[in-house]
Amino acid sequence: MDFVEVKNLIMKSGMELKVNGVFNANPERFSINVGHSTEEIAVHVDVRFSYLSDKRQLIINHKTGDAWQEEQRDARFPFTAGQAFQVSVVFNFDTFDIYLPDGQVAHFTNHLGAQEYKYIFFVGDATVKNISVNVADKPTKR
């Protein structure tokens, strides 16, 4: 179970976090998280291969006051155990656009409402290889 933590790689509206990694051979779960801290998470992209009762289930959520809020359960699961992956999280002002490895896009409201986040962390059954935060090379609202 990896826990990679990045502080002060500043995500502002209009920017994109791109992460590349490789899933473990028998992963249970891996998540990508952007926010202020482990208790205040603006977007939690939770890739559940086999976790609790979930099998091959993508869940997106946010956390505030160290409490998870309402899960957004996504029907798509373009992830493969043991394989490399790239996921982008575009910080699109009041929304996060999450570009899945197959190019599909999931949208998640910026419930915390900040226009800047300074804490990124990854937890779970994958090896993170590359982390980049740049001006988004994908469409944004402004």
Binding-site residue numbers for a beta-D-galactoside are: 68-74
Residue 34 near a copy of itself by CB under 8 A: no
| Residues 9-28: x where in contact with a copy of itself by CB under 8 A, - otherwise, as a string | x----------x--------
Residue 53 near a copy of itself by CB under 8 A: no
Among 123, 139, 136, which residue's Cα sits nearest to residue 34?
123
Residue 114 near a copy of itself by CB under 8 A: no
Which residue number, 7 or 73, has a Cβ lying nearer to a copy of itself?
7
Which residue number, 6 or 81, has a Cβ lying nearer to a copy of itself?
6
Q: Compute the Cα dihedral for 128, 131, 136, 13 and give only its sign.
A: positive
91: CB partners within 8 A, 6+ apart? 11, 12, 13, 14, 15, 16, 17, 34, 110, 117, 136
Site for a copy of itself in 63-92 (CB under 8 A): none
Among 19, 28, 60, which residue's Cα sits nearest to residue 41?
60
Which residue number, 50 or 127, has a Cβ lying nearer to a copy of itself?
127
| Tokens 């500043």 found at | 10
Position among 4, 81, 112, 114 found at the interface with a copy of itself (CB under 8 A): 4
CA angle 49, 67, 60 (to 5 degrees): 35
Position among 132, 137, 138, 141 found at the interface with a copy of itself (CB under 8 A): 132
